[in-house]
Amino acid sequence: MPKLFYSPASPYSAKVRMAAHHAGYAVESVIVSTADDPAELIAANPLGKIPALALDDGSSVFDSPVIMQAINGATGGGLYPKNAAKRLAVLQREALADGICDCLLACIYEVRLRPEDKRMQSVIDRQFAKAMRGLDALCAGRLPVPAKLDGGVIAVRALIGYLELRFAGKWEKGRLKLKRFAKAFDEKHPDLAGLVPRG
């Protein structure tokens, strides 16, 4: 069985785990700490980043958008529409959700990895502003919660889980559409609700 190396708090890991579960792609989920550079993770991804998927044939797939495509291909293509325009829209939504996560992680790293007197508040403010613009863009579009999920919708739910975990009380104002989306998602797909980012 393929092994998926992940961290419970990672929104990218959550996205992949949710997609695998929804698509019926069986994996052994293995929690790793990237700070420890575990050998199994490095073997699956020389960058030491998560998520990383080690396949049964000894090969590996990494970073989350590529893993999503691998899962999609292995399970009959249900995560992304075959229609070119619809597929592009799903990929765009996924890219926006992932990009917002990138900005939020930059804020976290600036605080965690720098001594307090070396932190650059201007960097934190700029990255957080980018993330909030991204959330507003999500709010401006349609956010359906279909019975058959796609990669973009799953990515948005993983993003909101990360916001709730790390930025509670700092992003919600004027964005209740995203809160309602998350609630509707969890009600329709309770089997996935437990896979959102956790501390």
Same fold, 3-74 and 84-190: no
Instruction: Report pLDDT for 61.
Output: 98
Which residue carries 């020389």 as its tokens? 46
Burial letters 133-161, b for 16+ CB under 10 A, else e = ebbeebeeeebebeeebbbbbbbbbbbbb
pTM of the model: 0.95
Helices (H), the chain: 11-23, 39-44, 64-74, 84-112, 121-140, 151-166, 176-188, 190-193
Positions in the chain whose pLDDT score sits under 50? none
Topology of the domain comprising 84-190 = Glutathione S-transferase Yfyf (Class Pi); Chain A, domain 2 (1.20.1050)
Instruction: Report pLDDT for 150.
Output: 97
Instruction: Report pLDDT for 152.
Output: 97
Instruction: Report pLDDT for 56.
Output: 96
Domain range list for the chain? 3-74, 84-190
Instruction: Report pLDDT for 115.
Output: 82
- Quote the CATH superfamily of domain 3-74: Glutaredoxin (3.40.30.10)
Total Cβ atoms within 10 A of residue 126: 14
Instruction: Report pLDDT for 112.
Output: 87
pLDDT in tens, 138-161: 999 988 887 789 999 999 999 999
Instruction: Report pLDDT for 169.
Output: 97
